[in-house]
Each structure stands twice: as structure tokens, then as C-alpha cells.
Amino acid sequence: MASLKELAKRQDIFCSGHRACSGCAPAITMRQVTLAVDKHLVAGLSTGCMEVVSTIFPFTAWRSSFIHNAFENVAATISGVETAYRALKKKGKLDAEYSFIAFGGDGGTYDIGLQSLSGAMERGHNMLYLCYDNQGYMNTGIQRSSATPFGAATSTTPAGIKIAGKQQFQKDLTQIMVAHDVPYVAQASIGFHRDLNKKVTKALATKGPSFINVLSSCHRGWRINPADSLKYSKLGVDTCLWPLYEVVNGVYKLTYKPREKKPLEEWLKGQGRFNHLFKPENADMLMTFQKYVDHKWNTLLWKCGEIKERPE
């Protein structure tokens, strides 16, 4: 794996000049992920924030082969390109080594493109699918997605008299990918860039399909200060809402364990989308949310062999 000095010398594949917001965490994700690529990259990107800001014709922020897709089919497209690549190599028409990454936001991955992703993983293509999860449809008006956390206020789950934000918990997409029995599945956060870099390197070296889910805050949708993008990406991990782990050929492993698990409130406080949860009448929602996170964390510890008894 490349050292920090070596990474610093590499030319950015996702380069400056894009039109993302100041402090945009998904843009940081794109840069951190592509820094780990040491071969020619074929990148696919479904419709979403990063596609909108990085490929405004006739300009591009990508120093790689690049394909833009609709919301629902980036996994299918990259799997097709990877198949064509293998066919050309087999015929002796291509010698170079390539890496294939399909990028999607949470809307294009958890919801609209789930069928395409599931099919590509099941067929066993030699590709990485990377989801940058900012927990909502941020570029179309901050609507809820199935990745949106419990209690979050969005334009389609507003906190008001009838409901206090979203009433469902976030879909556990990482576990759905584990259920596909692919060789490599991981969760990561841009708040822990070395961990993310190691996981991308490992995923690209894996023969067969791999999947990484990356927590990538959105300061507009989360209603935080743009300078706090990394702060909340770290707090999501230290409160165990977003644990860092990997599953290699079905074996679970924590890649980071907080010395002291912080209360969920530390991640919620300061995010405007959760302000209403701190009103006295919503105290039970805070307790429900904390219990949910505790149970998920303890179950993960059991899967990783950190505790012996499975939580009830």
C-alpha cells in the first residue's frame, strides 16, 4: 500500500475545477478514493451531486475514462465495460491493466439503482462499487432516501405537527451487500482517510466484485457549517452510528474501535435537521434512536468476535 508521501506525489484523478460546494464531503470522497488507484481507471457515475458538479459540458474534473449514467444503471454499465475488457484481453487485442469503479450516491444506490447493483454483484464482475452516502437526495431538493436516518427533517419528511422527521431507520445496505457473498464489503468514512485508502486498495486488488459504503456528509442537507464536514464524518464513527469494518470472504473485522463510545447526541447536535429532536416532546425519539444504534453496534461486535454472546 502506498505511503502518505507517495500518495501526495500522485496526480489527482479527480482534480480541482469542479463546481461542488465549499467543504463538500462527496468531492473529498472522490479525491480520496481515486488517489488509491494506480492503474488506468474506468469510472462510472450515476446521476447525482458529483456527476452534476464534475462534468458540466464541455468541462470535466476527471483525468480518467468516464461514463455518466442515469440514476439506476451505473453498476450495469461498468459491469458491461468490464466484460468487454476481459473479452478484448482474451482475444489479445488489449494488454494494459485497468481498474473499474462504479460510483453512486445513496439515492442511486440504496433506492433507484439497487437492482442494477445487486445484479452486477451476483454476476461476479471484477469491479468496485462505491456509494457516497450523504443520507438524502441532496441535489434535487434534499428529499428523504432510504439512507436518511431516523428523525431527520427533509423536504419530504418535514418536522412539524404531524411527524417529527423521518419515521423509519436507515436501510442497512452494507449488510445487504454482505448477503450477496461477494469477496469484499466495507464501510468507511472520509474522517478516517487512511482507513478509506486501505479499503479501496484492498477492494481493487480483490478478484471479483467488491463494495464500499462511505459516509459523506452534505452541509446543505445536514444543515451544518461547511467547515465541519470532517468533524461530523468522524463523529458518526465515534458515536458508532457508522462503524468502520470490513467483511472479507464472509469474515467480519472491525477496522476502528473508538476508545470511548460517544453518545449519539454528540453527532445529532449542531445538525439543523435534528434540532426538533431536542424538544422535550421528542425525548422518546432520542432514546429510541440511541437504543437502535447500541443494538446495531453490539450485534456488529458479536459478528466481529469482540463479544461472545449475541445481543437479544
- For the residues 114-118, what does the mean pLDDT come to? 97
Asked if the structure places residue 309 within a domain, the reply is no
- For the residues 167-171, what does the mean pLDDT come to? 97
Q: Are 138 and 220 in contact (CB under 8 A)?
A: yes
Q: Which helix (H) or strand (E) holds 251?
A: strand 251-254
Which three cell numbers mark 64? 480518467
Which three cell numbers mark 256? 476502528
Q: Are 147 and 168 in contact (CB under 8 A)?
A: no
**What are the pLDDT digits (tens) for 85-101?**
999 999 999 999 999 99
| Phi, psi torsion values for 124, nearest 5 degrees | 80, 30
State how many domains the chain has.
Answer: 1
C-alpha of 181 from chain center: 19
| pTM of this prediction exceeds 0.75 | yes
Alpha-carbon distance 105 to 148, whole Å?
12
Asked if the structure places residue 21 within a domain, the reply is yes
Asked if the structure places residue 120 within a domain, the reply is yes
Buried b (16+ CB within 10 A) or exposed e, 242-265: bbbbbbeeeebeebeeeeeeeebe
In this predicted structure, what is the pLDDT of residue 53? Answer: 95
Q: Are 261 and 298 in contact (CB under 8 A)?
A: no
DSSP string, 40-100: EEEEEEESSHHHHHH--TT--SBSSEEEEE-TT-HHHHHHHHHHHHHHHHHTTS----EEE
Q: Give just the sign of the alpha carbon dihedral 207, 184, 244, 42.
A: positive
In this predicted structure, what is the pLDDT of residue 188? Answer: 98
Q: What percent of the chain has pLDDT above 70?
A: 100
Asked if the structure places residue 312 within a domain, the reply is no
Domain span holding position 148: 4-304
Alpha-carbon distance 202 to 253, whole Å?
14
CA angle centred on 233, ends 65 and 294, rounded to 5°:
125
Alpha-carbon distance 24 to 220, whole Å?
9
Asked if the structure places residue 130 within a domain, the reply is yes
Alpha-carbon distance 79 to 84, whole Å?
9
Asked if the structure places residue 274 within a domain, the reply is yes
Contacts of 211 (CB under 8 A, 6+ apart): 117, 121, 128, 129, 130, 131, 174, 177, 182, 184, 185, 186, 203
In this predicted structure, what is the pLDDT of residue 312? Answer: 82
Alpha-carbon distance 218 to 183, whole Å?
30
**What are the pLDDT digits (tens) for 204-255?**
999 999 999 999 999 999 999 999 999 999 999 999 999 999 999 999 999 9
Predicted confidence (pLDDT) at residue 1 exceeds the cutoff of 80? no
Q: If you average pLDDT over every residue of the chain, what do you get?
A: 96
In Å, the largest CA–CA distance within the chain is 69
Q: Which helix (H) or strand (E) holds 132?
A: strand 128-133
pLDDT band at 5 (very low <50, low <70, confident <90, very high): confident
Predicted confidence (pLDDT) at residue 6 exceeds the cutoff of 90? no
In this predicted structure, what is the pLDDT of residue 4? Answer: 82
Whether omega for the bond prior to residue 58 falls within 30 degrees of 0, making it cis, is yes
pLDDT band at 263 (very low <50, low <70, confident <90, very high): very high
Predicted confidence (pLDDT) at residue 292 exceeds the cutoff of 90? yes
Asked if the structure places residue 115 within a domain, the reply is yes
Q: Give just the sign of the alpha carbon dihedral 183, 42, 76, 91.
A: negative
Look up the CATH number of the domain holding residue 10.
3.40.50.970
Contacts of 177 (CB under 8 A, 6+ apart): 121, 185, 211, 213
In this predicted structure, what is the pLDDT of residue 7? Answer: 85
Alpha-carbon distance 164 to 162, whole Å?
7
Residue 14 is given by DSSP the state B
- For the residues 91-120, what does the mean pLDDT come to? 97
Predicted confidence (pLDDT) at residue 79 exceeds the cutoff of 80? yes
Asked if the structure places residue 60 within a domain, the reply is yes
